[in-house]
Amino acid sequence: MVLLSILSIPFIAAIILLFVKQNEKANYIAIASSGITLALALNIAFNGAANFDASWISSINARFVLTADGLSKILLLLTGISFPAIFMATSKNEIKNRAQFLSLMLFTQTGLLGVFLAGDALLFYFFWELALIPVYFLCSIWGGEKRIAVTFKFFIYTFLGSLFMLIGIILVYTHTADQSFAIQSFKQASLSAGQQLTAFALFFTAFAIKMPIFPLHTWQPDAYEQSPTAVTMVLSAVMVKMGLYGVMRWLMPLFPNAFSAHSNFVVILSVIGILYASFIAIRQDDMKRLIAYSSIAHIGLMSAALFANNEIGAQGVLIQLFSHGVNVLGLWIIADIIEQQTGTRSLKEMGGLAKQNPTLGILLVGFAFANIALPLTNAFVGEFLMFNSLFQFKPWTAAAAGVSVVLAAIYTLNMVQKCAYGEVSEKMSKMQAPNVPAQFVLIVLLIVVIISGVYPAPLFDLTADTLQQLFIK
């Protein structure tokens, strides 16, 4: 039941918000509902929850099944933390029709939670699409100048990908013994080698576009740049995880042979993507684009480690799913505060943040360190494990991906230097102290970064069962 309620709370709040007119009230409702969701997520993560199973479309044997294992829990936590953080950090921003904006955000949250909880393939597909539709409207209505074309590209890309996944689902479904969409039946479907390969390709296309894996990434930087920052935060902190989640939940267990047969190919693509994105990030002057490319590089590393197909890599990814979300969220919030107050995203026009506002300067440095995966930050744990796994897979892939750490240090520190140090620039002189909720959120996030960096054991415990399922048959 608790699984059903975590899904219905944002949904109900979203519907209520459709009828709310005042901005203040809307804010309270959104923050309150996402706060309750966070509490439920914590409860599910640390106390566990019984499966929810109800009849849905009986004639084709599709059921409304929600389950939460370690993989789901860690992403529930991430979704749970992200939304209240985003709502609070952007609560003072100028957004017209705020109630509608927040309502669509909460619909997105419903879709995301559904994706992470669904234990039935058709239901999974349902939520997968549902998470996309509100984002389409959010970006197209509240986005930047080129928003309509950019968002449409993003939408068509991901929609096409998910349609391919739909064919994959149908293909596996027709080969299940009991004609059902349950994940257990899917695992036991009798597919020939050729069919397994086809189904693998169909699912993989959807996930690869979502992550995105090079060369399917072209929608992403534009979409991140043109979206309103609150939506960019959702996209990069939570939504890209849908692709990685899909790989771990469906691709690995369902098509083990095709998976290991193609791991080489995907790892190479991912490594190319990492280097490519890192080099582009170095050249960026726009802070938002820089973070976007850095995020592509980090996700690339995660997909490489996942497709290296060993336990240590999967463990690293499971930790990093959470850590990357928190880190990138922190960076986005800081970038947003700077843009809101100084009106610029160009690094050339910044400088002297540390003098102008020491607190924000320190926070920026903190998240920047986490972005480079320095020891004591949460990202170190995950990235260490992931490099380890790549080394086990093929040492040269670890070496190639290792270059990206150096590159990450270059672009991240470059950003910190241009933004925080030097003389106070003309634009930066307009910078005042960020509002209290935003500051509060940043501090909390930084605490999470450090705690999970120093003492990551709870995260390991949380995800142990998923690892066991994936690797110990």
Partner 1 sequence: MNAIIASALLGVLMMFASWIFDNEKTHTRIALVGLLALIVANVLQLNGIYTIPVDYKGLLSFTQFGLYVNTILFILTFLYVWLNGDEIAKIGNHAADFYALFFFILCGASILTSFNNLLMLFIGVEILSIPLYILTGADKKNLNSNEAALKYFLMGAFSTGIFLLGITFIYGATGTFQLVAPNVNPATGMVREQLMQSAGLILIFVSFNFKVSAAPFHFWTPDVYDGAPTVFTSFMATIVKATAIIAFVVLFHSQFKALGYAWELLLTFVLISTLFVGNITAVFQRSVKRMLAYSSIAQVGFMLFALYGPSSFANEGILLYIMAYSVASIGLFGVLIKMKEYSFEAFNGLAKKEPLLAAMTTIFTLSLAGIPLTGGFFAKYYMLNAAVQSGIGLWLVALAILFAAVSVYYYFKLIQAMYFVEGEPAIHEVEQGYKYKLLVFAILILAIGILPNVFLSYLYF
Residues that bind partner 1 (CB under 8 A): 56-60, 122, 125-126, 129-130, 133, 137, 140-141, 147-148, 152, 155-156, 159-160, 163-164, 166-167, 170-171, 173-174, 198
Quickly count: other Cβ atoms within 10 Å of residue 411's Cβ: 25
Smallest gap, in angstroms, from Cβ of residue 95 to partner 1? 16
Smallest gap, in angstroms, from Cβ of residue 188 to partner 1? 19
Residue number, 109 or 323, with CB nearest to partner 1: 109
| 311 contacts 467 by C-beta, under 8 angstroms | yes
Quickly count: other Cβ atoms within 10 Å of residue 184's Cβ: 11
Dihedral sign, Cα of residue 346, residue 421, residue 372, residue 377: negative
CA-based nearest residue to 150, from 223, 211, 215: 223
Smallest gap, in angstroms, from Cβ of residue 278 to partner 1? 32
Residue number, 161 or 453, with CB nearest to partner 1: 161
CA-based nearest residue to 31, from 90, 76, 94, 77: 90
Residue number, 169 or 321, with CB nearest to partner 1: 169
**Exposure on the CB side of residue 223, measured as CA atoms within 13 A:** 30
Residue number, 4 or 36, with CB nearest to partner 1: 4
Which residue bears the tokens 């695992």? 187
Smallest gap, in angstroms, from Cβ of residue 58 to partner 1? 6
Smallest gap, in angstroms, from Cβ of residue 81 to partner 1? 27
Residue number, 156 or 447, with CB nearest to partner 1: 156
Smallest gap, in angstroms, from Cβ of residue 56 to partner 1? 8
In the chain, the amino acid numbered 303 is: S
Smallest gap, in angstroms, from Cβ of residue 250 to partner 1? 17
Report how far apart, in Å, the C-alpha atoms of 346 and of each of 277, 339, 350, 414 are.
Answer: 19, 9, 7, 13
Backbone angles phi, psi at 118, to 5 degrees: -65, 135
Task: Please tell me the distance from the alpha carbon of residue 272 to that of residue 325, in angstroms, as a whole number.
Answer: 22
Q: What is the DSSP letter of 346?
A: B
Residue number, 64 or 384, with CB nearest to partner 1: 64
Residue number, 143 or 453, with CB nearest to partner 1: 143
Residue number, 47 or 192, with CB nearest to partner 1: 192
Residue number, 6 or 169, with CB nearest to partner 1: 169
Rounded (to 5) percent helix, strand, coil in the chain: 80, 5, 20
Smallest gap, in angstroms, from Cβ of residue 220 to partner 1? 19
Peptide bond into 215 cis (omega under 30): yes
Task: Please tell me the distance from the alpha carbon of residue 331 to that of residue 446, in angstroms, as a whole number.
Answer: 11
Q: What is the 3-state secondary structure (H, E, C) of 195-242?
A: HHHHHHHHHHHHHHHHCCCCCCCCHHHHHHHHCCHHHHHHHHHHHCHH
Q: What is the 3-state secondary structure (H, E, C) of 63-126?
A: EEEECCCHHHHHHHHHHHHHHHHHHHHCCCCCCCCHHHHHHHHHHHHHHHHHHHHECEHHHHHH
Which residue bears the tokens 């009849």? 55
| 29 contacts 20 by C-beta, under 8 angstroms | yes
| 165 contacts 227 by C-beta, under 8 angstroms | no
Smallest gap, in angstroms, from Cβ of residue 140 to partner 1? 5
Smallest gap, in angstroms, from Cβ of residue 85 to partner 1? 27
Residue number, 205 or 344, with CB nearest to partner 1: 205
Smallest gap, in angstroms, from Cβ of residue 177 to partner 1? 15
Residue number, 126 or 245, with CB nearest to partner 1: 126
Smallest gap, in angstroms, from Cβ of residue 63 to partner 1? 11
| 335 contacts 290 by C-beta, under 8 angstroms | no
Report helix angle 436-454 to 358-372, nearest 10: 40
Residue number, 131 or 280, with CB nearest to partner 1: 131
Backbone angles phi, psi at 284, to 5 degrees: -75, 145
